[in-house]
Amino acid sequence: MSLLLIVCPHCNDINRVPSECLTQKTPCDACKQVLFAQRPSKLTARNFQFYLSNNDIPVVVHFWSPSCGFNPAMEAAYTLATSRLEPWVRLARLNVEQEKTMAVRYKIDSTPTLIFFKSDREIARKSGVMTASEIMSWVSGYI
Ligand SMILES: [Zn+2]
């Protein structure tokens, strides 16, 4: 039995979940809400590094901008992909207009951009609008 560390998207508690018990319905030990809420977790400059360092599952981050005309379509596709891909990967999003320091740190020069992180390291990135099935296939290639 291996224990996976999973950060709760609601209260930021670090859960230890036996890998065979990990499902979309697994509740948080602290706040009792489900660890996977069928929608992307919201990241900020404050919790970004904590998320990357304390999740044993890969973390995909959608760097998005509210002023990008493609954003509504991409957000809908990403949310659908989240509900299909979790719990074996955590999908999250970060608003680059609110978190400009993060956009600079990760050299985001266009939105939308997806970055796939595993064990705190960037494994891959892809820019441009994608459909839900394109997101699922891209993410699945790295899990
Ligand atoms: Zn919680």
61 belongs to a structural domain: yes
Per-residue pLDDT tens digits for 120-143: 899 999 999 999 999 999 999 999
Does residue 86 sit within a domain? yes
Judge whether residue 68 has pLDDT over 90.
Answer: no
Residue 124 placed within a domain: yes
Distance 55 CA to ligand 1 centre (A): 14
Specify if 80 maps to a domain: yes
Asked whether residue 78 is assigned to any structural domain, the reply reads yes
Both tokens of 79, joined, read: 């949310």
In the chain, how many domains are there? 1
Residue at 23 is within a domain: no
| Distance from residue 33's CA to the centre of ligand 1 (Å) | 6
Read off the pTM.
0.96
Task: Give 23 Cα–ligand 1 centroid separation in angstroms.
Answer: 15
Q: Does some domain include residue 129?
A: yes
Tokens of 5: 């560390």
CA of residue 43 to ligand 1 center, whole Å? 15
CATH number of domain containing 76: 3.40.30.10
Residues of the chain above pLDDT 70, percent: 100
pLDDT of residue 1: 73
pLDDT for 28-62, tens place per residue? 999 999 999 999 999 999 999 999 999 999 999 99
Domain extent, residue 55, equals 37-140
Residue 58 placed within a domain: yes
**Which pLDDT belongs to residue 91?**
98
Please return the burial class of 109, using the count of CB atoms within 10 Å of its CB with bins 0-12, 13-18 and 19+: exposed
